[in-house]
Structure 1
Amino acid sequence: MFILDKNIVFPPVSKTSDVGIIAVGGDLSVERLLLAYKSGIFPWFEKGSPILWWSPDPRMVLFPEELKISRSMRKIMNKEVFTVTLNRNFRAVIQACAETGRKGQKGTWITDDMIASYCKLHELGHAISVEVWQGDTLAGGVYGIDLGHVFCGESMFTRVSNASKVGFITLVEKLKREKYKLVDCQVYTSHLDSLGAREIPREDFIKILKES
């Protein structure tokens, strides 16, 4: 396994272990994070452990034109129960994602250091957030890295039923209008599968990622 040092470099994704880990260590600097995402790599680790860098194969992705919106979700969106904004409060979204419990997980991988680094990426225009409001209350949200032709989804949260789905669907529809090639969903979940995401070979994902 590749051990990172102060040099900002990653090995080829072909060197990834069977479980999907490509490297350990390094830091969460803006430069390293941007290189990681552009290389098809992302950080995912528990608080108190070394930074783990992943590039799973296959890769879960959503092609915007394949987005599935159920009849019930379409009704909810048409009722305009929620208001959706973009980049209104990035810090509040990532903080809420960090505080939201996940089934089968003891804690969160979104540490204070990660929050600080991703907020810096947001300030520089590389990370975006989608906020879903019910009145003046933040009901749900999504954040991730924007590479210009690929959106790398990082996390979402919901405090009101269907709020995060509304935010995700609104974001994907926006990306479709702007001709984005895909949304990187990283790993399989049944929730993402229900929205139209599917697994593709990592090699295909990297090929699309390099098309800028």
Structure 2
Amino acid sequence: MDYDVLAIIEGYAQGYFLMATEDESLQWYSSSDRTLIPLDARFRYPKSLQRVLNSDKFTVAINRDFKAVVKGCANRENTWISKELQEIYWALYLNGWAYSFETWLGDELAGGILGIAIGGMFIGESMFYRIPDGSKVAMVKLVEKLRSRSFVLFDAQMMNPHLERFGAYQVADLEYQRLLKQSLQRQCGLI
């Protein structure tokens, strides 16, 4: 199926995000309180993770196996990543908008984060792990990468306990729109 990639990117650039409903139809969503991952000193992670990071147990890659990351993110009992949304992510990937930030243990995919990069904004769509700490290491390394590329915003959309451990916080829509506008004025690039 052909998708209007630019119309989809325009939706994300206005602060909306796509999710599949129970009947697998796609809907645009927004939230009055948006969850952000800090790209400054507020970012934190469990101290036990520092040993894993110091061990260089995992290697990090971008887009080494995009489809496997999408599949890993969708592989849960209740998923909002329908088959159609997986196809949309693939179309966005082919057009240079969607990325998978991955951790590897040798030749085995350990975990990853699926997201969309627009200007100076990274929209984290989902994350998963197959090997303990795989997604946590991906999060730390992704934040380091976004900082090094001068990204303004890491939008995680909705809060959950896992994200709170990394210092995720919520902002009201007015602040989100200000940061969104600022991020769209940049061209940061992940690769």
TM-score (norm 1): 0.81
The question of whether the paired residues in 2 share the 8 Å contact of 1:58 and 1:201 is answered with yes
1:21-32 correspondence to structure 2 within 5 Å: 29-32=4-7
What is the aligned-residue identity percentage?
A: 35
Residue 53 (structure 1) aligns with: 28
Compared CA separation, residues 197 and 96, structure 1 to 2 (3 A): same
Say whether 1:33 aligns with 2:8: yes
Instruction: Give the letter for the 2:29 counterpart.
Output: W
Residue 100 (structure 2) aligns with: 129
Q: Deviations over 1:104-133 (max 9, x none)?
A: xx5211111111111111111111111111
- Partners of 2:85 and 2:93 lie apart in 1 by 12
Q: Displacement of 1:49 after TM fit?
A: 4.0
- Partners of 1:203 and 1:44 lie apart in 2 by 23
Instruction: Give the letter for the 1:94 counterpart.
Output: V
- Partners of 1:107 and 1:188 lie apart in 2 by 17
Q: Displacement of 1:162 after TM fit?
A: 0.9
Q: Please, which of 64, 67, 73 is the counterpart of residue 91 of structure 1?
A: 67
Q: Whose radius of gyration is greater, 1 or 2?
A: 1
Instruction: Give the letter for the 1:64 counterpart.
Output: L
Say whether 1:74 aligns with 2:50: yes
Q: Secondary structure at the match of 2:36?
A: strand
Residue 151 (structure 1) aligns with: 122
Q: Deviations over 1:128-174 (max 9, x none)?
A: 11111111111111110001201000001101111001011100111
- Partners of 2:4 and 2:73 lie apart in 1 by 20
- Partners of 1:172 and 1:152 lie apart in 2 by 12
The structure whose RCO (Cα within 8 Å, separation 6+) is larger is: 2
Q: Secondary structure at the match of 1:141?
A: strand
Q: Displacement of 1:69 after TM fit?
A: 2.5
- Partners of 2:125 and 2:38 lie apart in 1 by 16
Instruction: Give the letter for the 1:79 counterpart.
Output: S
- Partners of 1:208 and 1:201 lie apart in 2 by 11
- Partners of 1:188 and 1:47 lie apart in 2 by 21
1:1-212 correspondence to structure 2 within 5 Å: 29-65=4-40, 66-99=42-75, 101=76, 106-211=77-182, 212=185
- Partners of 2:53 and 2:146 lie apart in 1 by 17
- Partners of 1:124 and 1:139 lie apart in 2 by 26
Q: Displacement of 1:92 after TM fit?
A: 1.1
Instruction: Give the letter for the 2:13 counterpart.
Output: K
Compute the RMSD of aligned alpha carbons: 1.5
Q: Secondary structure at the match of 1:64?
A: coil
Q: Deviations over 1:46-76 (max 9, x none)?
A: 3524322111111100221121023211111
Structure 1: stretches of 5+ with no match in the other structure: 1-26
- Partners of 1:171 and 1:188 lie apart in 2 by 18
Which contiguous aligned blocks of 4+ residues in structure 1 show a shift greater than 4 angstroms? none
Q: Displacement of 1:29 after TM fit?
A: 3.4
TM-score (norm 2): 0.89
